[in-house]
């Protein structure tokens, strides 16, 4: 069977080619990163961070006071020490949302990429991987925490989390806070439920960020 | 003054003249900004050629990219040739029966974007472009055979040809991964340098052994991971954004040759 390939249609790549800009800044910390996670089922990764970034770019982050993380410590409005990182702890969502898991999860699964549920389930369950190149596709909850200063695009501090309680690395914290004397910083925490690497519910964020004062 | 004039001339080129939707679609086809993701480096053209084909034999019903045994000498893409794609009865090996769903599948799964609504201008423009390169109605559906079990391929070590593998790598892998061993010219900062990133990465070198590049266990692991990535892409619970190469786009022998070329 002979076949001739005649013409390669020229597409104007030069006009609107790939922008090789650096992209969003990476998190300062991954806790617990996939390559050091003791529990293979609970980790975070750069892949999951990308999923948050993509969701933000697509305006899929939902401000929801109930489904978003609820900060416990440090107390909102308190002062942050520049040299000693605080223990940051939060509930993954509001107490009134804890009992309403099943239905939203099911509905989110149905909405996943607007694809029929049966197709997603076939792809997810019948096709099993053997080796993983990036710690595998994650199922579970991850959180993206940012400390921000008004007017600055780059976060003062950012962490991708698979845990709801942690203390930032002192070296990273001190570096982040070096020139922040007396500044007011805001904290946002996004929560997303992943299923095999895709966000199936969320991300959710508090309508109003938490405010802190950095000690002078 | 000259600089100002040059700048104004440049702006004039992007003025408010009326541009046919198909032309806008052609530009979108090659533009990674089709996805709002700031991380995405893929455009439609990264994975899909648009090559006009002419069947010399009247009975030649096989798809244009039917397989490596009769392959054209140009780039090897994971995605099908989109010439004559609009009037196919299905896409993605029959799993998508609406062109918009097939496009959105790529946009969401690989490009980190959000699905386009049928009324979105960009969806319309892409459709108009693809229609201009789809003269035949109807056109046949193309098969997409996903290789689930890779054991046979992993065993294809004896007889693998590194020279052939270098050619396949240049036409099928370098467009995204750049040069082997250095990654020079790779597409985006997140694209791995092959095979070094795989050998020394967390999966094949969990103990951060500085000698991983010569460690037989790490090399064997990397061989498996590379095959998984090529055959399964991001699917099968693998993760990432790489598309898969079906049996129609790369043969097991060709992949074995690439492995030999990479020293795996």
Q: Which of A1-10, A20-29, B113-122, B127-136 has the lowest mean pLDDT?
A: A1-10
Class of the domain covering A29-98+138-214: mainly beta
Q: Specify whether B39 is located in the same domain as B127.
A: yes
Closest Cα in chain B, distance from residue A27 (Å) = 14
Q: Specify whether B23 is located in the same domain as B127.
A: yes
Contact residues on chain B for A132, CB-CB shorter than 8 A: 203, 225, 228, 237-239
> Best residue in B240, B242, B259 to probe A by mutation, most A CBs within 10 Å?
B240
Interchain CB contact of A123 with B (< 8 Å): yes
Q: Specify whether B25 is located in the same domain as B105.
A: yes
**Which residues are within 8 A (CB) of B255 and not within 5 positions of it... i.e. 6 or more apart?**
B153, B156, B168, B227, B230, B231, B245
CATH number of the domain to which B229 belongs: 1.10.760
- Residue B145 located in a structural domain: no
What does the domain layout of chain A look like in residue ranges? 29-98+138-214
Q: Specify whether B108 is located in the same domain as B164.
A: no
pLDDT tens per residue across span A183-214: 999 999 999 999 888 899 999 999 999 999 99
Q: How many domains does chain B have?
A: 2
Q: Which residue range is the domain that position B184 belongs to?
A: 151-261
Q: Specify whether B163 is located in the same domain as B241.
A: yes
pLDDT at residue A114 tops 80? no
ipTM of predicted complex? 0.71
Domain boundary among B105, B132, B159: B132
Mean pLDDT on A38-62: 85
> Best residue in B10, B19, B28, B30 to probe A by mutation, most A CBs within 10 Å?
B30
Tens-binned pLDDT, residue by residue, of chain B (264 aa): 444 444 444 444 555 678 999 999 999 999 999 999 999 999 999 999 998 765 433 333 444 444 444 455 788 999 999 999 999 999 998 889 999 999 999 999 899 998 999 999 999 999 999 999 999 888 999 988 888 878 777 778 888 999 999 999 999 999 999 999 999 999 988 889 999 999 998 788 888 899 999 999 999 999 988 998 999 888 877 778 899 999 999 999 999 999 999 999
Which residue in the set B36, B45, B238 is minimally distant from A11, CB to CB? Answer: B45
Read off the DSSP letter of residue A158. E
Distance between CA B244 and CA A160 in Å, rounded?
28
Nearest to B242 by CA among B200, B186, B203, B202: B186
Cβ atoms within 10 Å of B122's Cβ, excluding its own: 18
Contact residues on chain A for B62, CB-CB shorter than 8 A: 1
- Residue B6 located in a structural domain: no
- Residue B182 located in a structural domain: yes
Q: Specify whether B127 is located in the same domain as B157.
A: no
Q: Specify whether B56 is located in the same domain as B124.
A: yes
Cα B76 to Cα A64, A149, B176, distances in angstroms: 46, 47, 12
Q: Specify whether B155 is located in the same domain as B116.
A: no
Q: Specify whether B26 is located in the same domain as B97.
A: yes
């Amino acid at each position: 069977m002979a076949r001739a390939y005649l013409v390669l249609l020229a597409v104007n790549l030069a006009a609107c080619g790939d922008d090789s800009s650096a992209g969003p800044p990476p998190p300062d910390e991954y806790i617990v990163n996939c390559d050091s996670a003791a529990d293979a089922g609970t980790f975070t990764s750069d892949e999951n961070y990308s999923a948050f970034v993509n969701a933000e770019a697509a305006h899929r982050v939902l401000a929801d006071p109930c489904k978003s993380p609820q900060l416990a410590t440090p107390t909102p409005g308190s002062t942050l020490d520049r040299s000693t990182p605080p223990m940051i702890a939060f509930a993954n969502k509001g107490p009134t949302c804890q009992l309403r898991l099943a239905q939203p999860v099911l509905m989110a699964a149905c909405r996943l990429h607007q694809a029929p549920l049966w197709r997603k389930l076939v792809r997810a369950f019948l096709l099993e991987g053997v080796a993983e190149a990036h710690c595998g596709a994650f199922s579970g909850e991850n959180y993206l925490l940012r400390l921000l200063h008004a007017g600055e695009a780059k976060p003062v501090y950012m962490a991708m989390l698979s845990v709801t309680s942690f203390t930032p690395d002192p070296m990273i914290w001190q570096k982040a806070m070096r020139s922040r004397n007396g500044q007011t910083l805001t904290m946002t925490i996004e929560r997303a439920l992943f299923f095999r690497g895709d966000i199936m519910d969320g991300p959710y964020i508090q309508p109003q960020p938490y405010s802190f004062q950095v000690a002078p | 003054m000259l600089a100002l004039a040059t700048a104004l001339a440049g702006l004039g080129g992007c003025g408010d003249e009326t541009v046919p939707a198909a032309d806008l679609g052609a530009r979108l086809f090659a533009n990674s900004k089709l996805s709002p993701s700031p991380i995405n480096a893929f455009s439609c053209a990264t994975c899909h050629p648009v090559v006009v084909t002419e069947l010399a034999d009247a009975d030649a019903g096989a798809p244009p990219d039917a397989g490596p045994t009769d392959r054209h000498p140009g780039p090897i893409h994971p995605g099908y040739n989109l010439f004559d794609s609009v009037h196919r009865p299905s896409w993605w090996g029959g799993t998508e029966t609406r062109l918009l769903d097939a496009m959105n599948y790529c946009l969401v799964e690989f490009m980190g974007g959000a699905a386009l609504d049928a009324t979105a201008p960009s969806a319309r423009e892409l459709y108009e472009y693809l229609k201009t390169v789809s003269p035949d109605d109807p056109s046949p559906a193309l098969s997409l055979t996903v290789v689930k079990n890779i054991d046979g391929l992993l065993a294809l070590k004896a007889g693998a040809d590194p020279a052939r593998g270098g050619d396949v790598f240049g036409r099928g892998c370098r467009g995204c991964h750049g040069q082997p061993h250095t990654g020079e010219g790779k597409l985006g900062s997140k694209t791995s340098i092959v095979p070094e990133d795989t050998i020394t990465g967390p999966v094949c070198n969990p103990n951060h052994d500085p000698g991983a590049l010569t460690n037989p266990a790490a090399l064997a692991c990397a061989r498996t991971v590379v095959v998984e990535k090529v055959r399964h892409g991001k699917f099968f619970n693998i993760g990432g954004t790489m598309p898969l190469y079906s049996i129609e786009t790369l043969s097991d022998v060709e992949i074995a040759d690439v492995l030999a070329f990479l020293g795996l």
